[in-house]
Each structure stands twice: as structure tokens, then as C-alpha cells.
Structure 1
Amino acid sequence: MSNLAKLEFAALDISGKNYLSWVLDAEIHLDAKGLGNTILADKEASNQDKAKAMIFIRHHLHEGLKVEYLTVKDPLELWKNLKERFDHQKTVILPKARYDRMHLRLQDFKIQQYREKGFKRYSELISCLLVAEQNNELLMKNHGIRHTGSAPFPEVNG
């Protein structure tokens, strides 16, 4: 049976590829609902809060993960199990993302041009560059279909 209720954020994928963003979203939402203590080892939580937290966490899991952790009834235990299974991504993905961010180069776009064009924020520049890249891809596709200087299509006589 599919989940009919709307998710507050994307469910944790069975591969765990979205674990880092999922865990942050889950923590924030649990705290907002007053259920943050249910996933902390050194904190006490009522049975009712634990049940609410389990419903919330399970609601935001891939169906395969729900089945795999079907017998787990405590949110802290489930949280630890998921952390043990997927937390290695912090040591794999996060350093690479930080490295990529540090070594990001904006080819053929000097800082002076950035300021001359009137960009005050980096996000404005990136948005402009993404649009330019999409337009360039479209032009390249069109060029691949019909090369510049090729003969025009024959006209149909009526």
C-alpha cells in the first residue's frame, strides 16, 4: 500500500544516497514537533512521544527499510541502526563535496568580470552561468541537427 499522506521531506532511500540531508531534515522536524529527545541517548522521553517519533521516522523511510526494521519499536534504536548503516557517508561523500567546493573554478570568468556585470552575490552569478550553459547546450544540439551554412530546406510549392 502506498503512502497517501504527504511527506514533509524526501523519504530515506534504501541505498542511503540521501542520508545526510535526510538525517538533518528528520532532526529538525523532530525538534520542531517536540520529539527531539526521543533520538538522544542521554534524554528521557515518554512512551507517547516515542510512539509519535516512530510513526514520523517510519513515515519517512523507503518501504524496503520499513520492512527491514519492522521489529524495531524504539526510535533511538532505529536511529542508531540507520546511523550505523549509513553514517559512513560522512567520511566518504562529505570530504569529496568539500574538496569539490574548494576547487570550484569558474572557467573563463574572472572576478573583475563578475563585478563589472553587476553581480553582487555568488548565487546570482551561478544562476546566470547555468542559464548560459543551458542555452549553449541548446545551440549545440541545434547545430548538430543542422550545421551553420548548410542549404536551407526546400520550399513546398502550392
Structure 2
Amino acid sequence: MIFLRHHLHEGLKVEYLTVKEPQILWSNLKERYDHQKTVILPKARYDWLHLRLQDFKSVSEYNSAMFRITSQLKLCGEKITDAEMLEKTYSTFRANNVVMQTQYREKGFTKYSELISCLLVVEQNNELLMKIHESRPTGSTTFLEVNATSHSGKEQKARDQANSSGRGHGQ
């Protein structure tokens, strides 16, 4: 009874304060919250049906949505397998990534976590390549740095003499 009360929300503790038997408390809570499955399941099924990788800005956001939806479905007694999660991900790649989709299928992933790890690494590498490209677009050349301290004193002295005897001096 102490364990049950410890994990109850403060409002529920007060409401069920007079209940002394754990079985009665459990039954009352089950009766009160058992309808949650009927509320959660339709929305979770809808979300699963409309979950698409292409709708997310990042693989991480997609992965979070995938686990939120599958957790809700599992709570309601529907088990989603790795094979279903893999197929959902493959089938919802962007249309311009059909070649990539085929390549990932051919790798033969058996666990969803393996595919997502691979996609996260690829996404991170792509972001890095884009940052490099934006900092120096293809075809642009770097400017050579001139290091003034590498010139010897003789070269500097010769330049100074040439400038002092050159035109415009003393005119």
C-alpha cells in the first residue's frame, strides 16, 4: 500500500486516502484510467499511418516521433516489430532518395536501431560537408597569406632605397 501511495499523484493521494486495501485501490484506479487505451489507441494508429520520414527536418526528430507512437501502441497492446519500423522508414524516404532507400534495404538491417544509427551518421556527415561547402564554395580559391616576417632584411632595405630614389620624391 505504501508503494502504491508513493507513486500516486498528490491529488489522487488525497482522493483515495480512505481506501485501505491495495486491491481496492488498484481496482479503483484501473476503473478510472482503463479507458485511456480507447482514447490513445485511435490517435496512435492515425499517427502511425501518417508517420513519414520526409515530414521531419532531422532523423532525430523522426526517431523521437517513431518511439513516441510505438510506445503508445505498445501501451494499448499493439506490438510494433523492428521489421515494421524498418519498412515504415524505408517506404517514407523522400521521392528523390529512391536510390538511397534501395541501398539501405540492400544492407539488410534487421534492427531499426541499426538503420537509425546509420542515418544519423550520414545526416551528420552531410551537415558537415554543407558547412564546409558554404564556407568555401566549389571553384573558389583560397587567398595566399603573406607573411612579412619571412622577408630578409636585405630585401626590405633594397625596397626602401628604391622607393626613396623613385619618382615623386623631392619633386
TM over 0.5, shorter chain: no
TM-score grouping bracket, smaller chain normalisation: 0.3 to 0.5
More helix by percentage:
2
TM-score, normalised to structure 1's length? 0.43
TM-score, normalised to structure 2's length? 0.40
Choose between structure 1 and 2 for higher RCO, CA contacts under 8 A separated by at least 6 residues: 1
